[in-house]
Amino acid sequence: SKNDALAEGVFFSRDLVNLPANVLNTEKFGNELKKFRKIGVKVRVLNEKDIKAIGMNLLFSVGKGSKNPSKVLVLEWKGGNRNTKPTALVGKGVVFDSGGLSLKSSSGMIDMAMDMAGAAVVAGVIKSVALSNLKVNLVGLIGLVENMPGPDSMRPGDVIKSLKGDLVQVNNTDAEGRLLLGDLLWYAQQKF
């Protein structure tokens, strides 16, 4: 039933949000979303090579301080008219947000395994829509990154060229969400 499909999506989102960052890394999150192929969702995984080749430098910069590779997942549900453009849902999937080199305080960091809740919601919506077989076209764009203070981290003051072509100066590396969402929003518009 529609209610069961809705519940499945809600529980899926909630379960992802509640997993700790040592369990739900970018790889595992990506693998969970690949399972959507079984319910009729087209799933494309863009790896770091793809992300760089496309020019999503803002998104790439957020994750480069982590040993967990960044990924972009493109989930397409084509239930509607072939000529109708899809509605795009864009999700922030920061599996852990330390703040990067602009390090958060310990108390500010404790819940930061939940910084992927936006991505989990997008995934849950698409799961519910697919299970309900809704007559709509949806595309979910999910950026999976971990914002860590590693040796290759972006630094405050770095200037990065976005997918759109704008130059962005990062004054605080804890502004990671708007960086990755900026590239994803532009990609959604370019592609879909």
**Set 34, 78, 104, 164: catalytic member:** 104
Active site residue 104: yes
Cα dist from 140 to 17, 121, 127, 147, 170, whole Å: 17, 10, 11, 21, 26
Rounded-to-integer distance, Cα 77 and Cα 97, Å: 29
Question: 3-8, long-range: CB within 8 Å, 24+ apart, which pairs?
Answer: 4/131, 5/127, 5/128, 5/131, 5/132, 6/128, 6/132, 8/127, 8/128, 8/131
Walk along the chain (192 residues) and give the pLDDT tens digit of each residue. Answer: 889 999 999 999 999 999 999 999 999 999 999 999 999 999 999 999 999 999 999 999 999 999 999 999 999 999 999 999 999 999 999 999 999 999 999 999 999 999 999 999 999 999 999 999 999 999 999 999 999 999 999 999 999 999 999 999 999 999 999 999 999 999 999 999
Beta strand 71-78 pairing with 159-161? unpaired
- Measured distance CA(36)–CA(94) in Å, rounded: 20
Catalytic residue chosen out of the listed positions 2, 42, 44, 178? 178
Alpha helices in the chain (DSSP H): 2-18, 26-34, 48-54, 57-63, 106-109, 117-132, 176-191
Active site annotation includes 161: no
Local structure of 146: helix, strand or coil: strand
